[in-house]
Amino acid sequence: MESKKINSGSVIRLKHEYEKNIRPALQKELNLKNIMEVPRINKIVVNVGVKEAVTDSKELQKVKKKLAWITKQAPIETECKKSIAGFKIREGMKIGACVTLRNKKMYEFLDELVNLALPRVRDFQGVSRKLDGRGNYNLGIKEWIIFPEAEDNGIEKAHGMNITIHTSARNDEEGIALLKQFGMPFKKK
């Protein structure tokens, strides 16, 4: 699989930015005594559901290929946990693709999401400030064409995706402070 690099120094830049500037600033902002208490991003999970996979298994392979281009990591297939007769889905049927990003690939994806993809959204006003109560953030994207890699290959249908940013924050305030420091464009209050 051929991979495109948007900025060869983006991984090092974002990680160094966290270690040198963001972590000390968060420690001061949140009044934390120990540097190890400062929240950090543990992993980013990207999930794509493919309803067309019920009738055409080749569609799932196309989505997996595109998701691999976007995240620069091979996705796994997700299975249906229970049968739903109304949707013609049986238990164990492959209906989606998922990627868990950590370390360098996580920082690279976050940098691309914040600095390239989200600004390409039409009439963008910012993302929601709502977290899950434990400092983790879920972001739903309607069409993956906001990523530069999605334009290259000829897949006719644009799919949506769910991006979950798992942090070590203890509450929503710490999670929002961490994501703001990374440049997440939240809506104005």
According to the model, what pLDDT value does residue 88 have? Answer: 66
Residue 38 near residue 30 (C-beta atoms within 8 A): yes
Distance CA(111)–CA(47), nearest Å, equals 18
Nearest to 99 by CA among 72, 59, 80: 72
> What domains are defined for the chain?
10-181 (3.30.1440.10)
Going by pLDDT thresholds of 50, 70 and 90, the confidence category of residue 1 is very low
Question: How do residues 148-178 score in pLDDT, each as one tens digit?
Answer: 776 655 556 777 888 999 999 888 888 888 9
pTM of the model: 0.80
CA distance 159 to 48: 7
Question: Checking DSSP bridges between strand 161-167 and strand 137-141, what pairing results, if any?
Answer: antiparallel
